[in-house]
Amino acid sequence: MKRLALGLAAGLAVLGLAVVPALAVTPEKPKIELGVGGKPLLYYLPLTLADRLGYFKDEGLDVTIDDFGGGAKALQALIGGSVDAVTGAYEHTMRMQQKGQEITAVIELGRFPGIVWAVAKAKADKVKTVADLKGLKIGVTAPGSSTHLTTVYQLAKAGVSAEDVAFVGVGSGASAVAALEQGNVDAVAHLDPVISKLEADDAVKILVDTRTEAGTRAVFGGTNPAAVLYVKADFAKANPNTVQALTNAFYRTLKWLDKATPAEIAAAVPEDYWLGDKDLYLRAAKASLPTYSKTGIVPQEGMTSTLNFLEVTEPGSFKDAKIDLGRTFDDRFVKKAAETIK
């Protein structure tokens, strides 16, 4: 263990990051159940890294990660009380506020969604835009997930009803690749490394790509927060040190990512994340690096674009909703982390 700790310290030194001790807070609840929907996806890379780099332990936390079939299932686990916190899509904070449940994000992990819409090469001659997906089967990580709901948004903007396509849950790893390559779906709304694998196999044509700021703005009209760490508001109130410790760990991870190379990322994650091809994972990591938050702060522009997204995709619930955006993100924890972690 001592050699491992020294190795991690050396790795951090290479990246120019100070090896800082745990901050002077004692978590009220050191044993944490943390939910996620699709942990191997690069969308959730900060979670894997925070765990693998030992940052949770540095903060006095014993974190068990529960990986669910999609973001909606992770949210259900939080509401049901089987997990304490979730790394999931920011939009869930608004959706739950509308339902009378106070869920708050405490740190932004992804500033661009990183979702890519791609069609199978066999259909590419007929499918040129999202509107052309009408009548086809679209693979998403899981029903109710961000890949599903963002597809509904894209279709609505193109004048296509969600009922005019068939959504198929294909999971978050090799199963998603197989679903498209075996013809079980005609297109996918998915994330890296799945997308990079399909590209490397020359199996798809990209329609829309939100791994970049330009692509994100083209879809949402502004920046659009992706993964965040969110908790129940009453949990944050009752366990401020615990939430601070979680935030510290993720903030250190974002600082690590800001200097990391694709090779360093690949070395830090489990090999099964590579989908059997390390070079592929390196390409996927490089493509995804711009998506991660630089500050951990959800900007006002991002809050607004997310609410607009919900107004389009769920007009019955959000057309006249009075969402208090300030209650969807509590910036106190990440600001405190930024004051201490350089």
Name residues whose C-beta falls within 8 Å of residue 126's C-beta, 6 or more positions apart in sequence. 132
CB proximity list for 5: less than 8 A, separation 6 or greater: 54
Weakly modelled stretches of the chain, pLDDT under 70: 1-24
Q: Which two tokens stand for residue 161?
A: 């009803």
Output the pTM of the full model: 0.83
| pLDDT digit string, tens, across residues 89-131 | 999 999 999 999 999 999 999 999 999 999 999 999 999 999 9
pLDDT score, position 108: 98
Residue 119 pairs in a beta bridge with: 187, 205
Ranges of H-type helices in 158-239 = 174-181, 194-200, 213-220, 233-238
Q: What is the pLDDT of residues 122-178, one digit of tens each?
A: 999 999 999 999 999 999 998 888 899 899 999 998 999 999 999 999 998 889 999
Asked if residue 187 lies in contact with residue 154, where contact means CB atoms within 8 angstroms, the answer is no
Domains and CATH numbers, the chain: 2-112+224-340 (3.40.190.10), 116-209 (3.40.190.10)
Residue pair 55/253 in contact (Cβ under 8 Å)? The answer is: yes
- Say what the pLDDT of residue 24 is: 60
Please tell me the distance from the alpha carbon of residue 7 to that of residue 3, in angstroms, as a whole number. 6
Q: Which of 134, 116, 92 is nearest to 42 (CA)?
A: 116
